[in-house]
Amino acid sequence: MEMITLDVTEMAHGGSAIGRARRGRTVFVPLTIPGEKVRAQIVSEKNKYAQAELIQVLQPSPERVAPRCQHFGVCGGCHFQHMAYAAQLAAKESVVRDQLARLGGFKSANVQPVVPNSEPYAYQVEMVLSPAGNGRLGYWSPIKREVIAIEECPISRPELVALLHDVELDLPGLRKLSLRIGDDEALLAAIEVDDVEPPELEADFPISVAIVLPDKTAASLVGDFYSVQQVNGRDFRVSPGVDMATSPTAMQAVVQTVLRYAALTGQETVIELFSGVGTLTAFLAERAKEVIAVERNSDAVEDLAVNLDDRENVALYEEDVEVVLPTLPTGVEVMVVHPWANGLSRQAISAIGRAAPHRLIYVSSDVATLARDGRSLHQSGYQLVEVQPIDMRPQTFHIETVSLWVKEK
């Protein structure tokens, strides 16, 4: 394979940095930092770009630090442990600007500095693991192209890593195991198996066990059937098959940004799409006249109903957004959307355009889909006012964004 020397110039979305080779060829190299000169080996090549493997850092960046984890560079869970935290934040802001410009056409978007996470390590309250053979569990390795067993995970809460070493599972049909810790320190293990019949399980230490079915609903096998997560001083019940904020600290920043953009006075009707367990709904309902929440996962709907049993101004719909939205009031003051990483469907974007909320707040966990959807929203008459990136997952390339869009008059 071809060996090349590169000057690394910028970060790319996905965790790699970019260098320029002869004939203007773009080369993506993981584990590098803009400003470095490196030796790399080409591992795959397309017409206009190539993927390379780092061989040697010839001139290191002053931002290069020693990774904390023995699995870093092999495990696919982290991408930035070789970078000082301030450099990670700068890289993520740069990627947000680049993706909005290149994929969305927003050449001069008002992107704010990334809100840092006060816990750059030991923040992750859930570990999602796969079988690695011999009864062990681990993460997918893009280098080895297989699941590797892990001994440590510095980005996860220490209690989860300790639990990983204590768990003994011998389930032939196991596809995935999720370990969660709640704000009350309670531990929960959620298993996904090929067989829909629940296995016989026993636990010899305090832990709840649930099985997650293909439709992402869950059934309890041992103990409680949910975790409790505190965000912004309020407790939320979260079922095993329902998304749980990776970092409660960062989720608090998301809540505060959404409220700032919503600028509610108590007179508004708010429509919230993909409401989940109500982590945003609860705080919107405290400040709005009425909140109409839409969520399709039945367990999330049940969680939300429990989490908001103190509110009488929330109407809840259990259905797909594309089905419900055309039946809801149009021209509402504020709409909040928090779709999955793959973003909004074309039908959902069309329905949002017809609903014509005055202010639209888009919470995204993938800036590429935000940029793509943003282009469509702009074509529907929305102007991008501001984007606030928030570091939900330090040491990884993932970046949460909250963006404000206003309908043109």
The full DSSP string for 157-168 is: -HHHHHHHHH--
The two structure tokens encoding residue 103:
């994929």
Residue 236 included in any domain:
no
- pLDDT greater than 70 at residue 373: yes
**Which has the minimum average pLDDT: 123-127, 238-242, 395-399?**
238-242
Residue 73 included in any domain:
no
| The pLDDT value given to residue 201 | 55
Q: Which residue has the higher pLDDT, 94 or 241?
A: 94
pLDDT cut 90: percent of the chain above it: 77
Q: How far apart are CA 105 and CA 122, in angstroms?
A: 37
Q: Are residues 99 and 209 in the same domain?
A: no
- pLDDT greater than 80 at residue 206: no
Residue 395 belongs to domain with CATH number:
3.40.50.150
Q: Are residues 179 and 299 in the same domain?
A: no
Residue 70 included in any domain:
no
CB atoms within 10 A of CB 10: 14
Alpha-carbon torsion (290, 392, 15, 108), positive or negative: positive
Q: Are residues 255 and 334 in the same domain?
A: yes
Q: Are residues 351 and 213 in the same domain?
A: no
Q: Are residues 356 and 249 in the same domain?
A: yes
**Region 203-231 average pLDDT:** 79
Q: What is the pLDDT of residues 153-199, one digit of tens each?
A: 999 999 999 988 887 766 667 888 899 999 988 999 888 877 656 55
- Over the chain, what is the mean pLDDT? 92
Q: How far apart are CA 288 and CA 280, in angstroms?
A: 12
Residue 23 domain boundaries: 1-64
Q: Which residues pair with 318 in a beta bridge?
A: 295
Overall domain count for the chain: 3
* Domain end point (choices 229, 255, 277): 229
Q: Are residues 211 and 256 in the same domain?
A: no
pLDDT confidence band for 244 (50 / 70 / 90): very high
- pLDDT greater than 80 at residue 142: yes
Q: How far apart are CA 392 and CA 124, in angstroms?
A: 9
- pLDDT greater than 60 at residue 86: yes
Q: Are residues 137 and 214 in the same domain?
A: yes
**Region 79-83 average pLDDT:** 98
- pLDDT greater than 90 at residue 111: yes
- pLDDT greater than 90 at residue 20: no
Q: Are residues 135 and 214 in the same domain?
A: yes
Amino acid (1-letter code) at residue 157? R
Q: How far apart are CA 143 and CA 138, in angstroms?
A: 14
Query: Alpha helix locations (H) across 3-139?
Result: 85-104
Q: Are residues 365 and 287 in the same domain?
A: yes
Q: Are residues 285 and 394 in the same domain?
A: yes
SS3 content of the chain, % helix, strand, coil (to 5): 25, 35, 45
Residue 191 included in any domain:
yes
Residue 33 belongs to domain with CATH number:
2.40.50.140
pLDDT confidence band for 204 (50 / 70 / 90): low
Residue 11 included in any domain:
yes
pLDDT confidence band for 61 (50 / 70 / 90): very high
Q: Are residues 111 and 135 in the same domain?
A: no
- pLDDT greater than 80 at residue 329: yes
- pLDDT greater than 70 at residue 203: no
| The pLDDT value given to residue 45 | 87
| The pLDDT value given to residue 198 | 56
| The pLDDT value given to residue 131 | 87
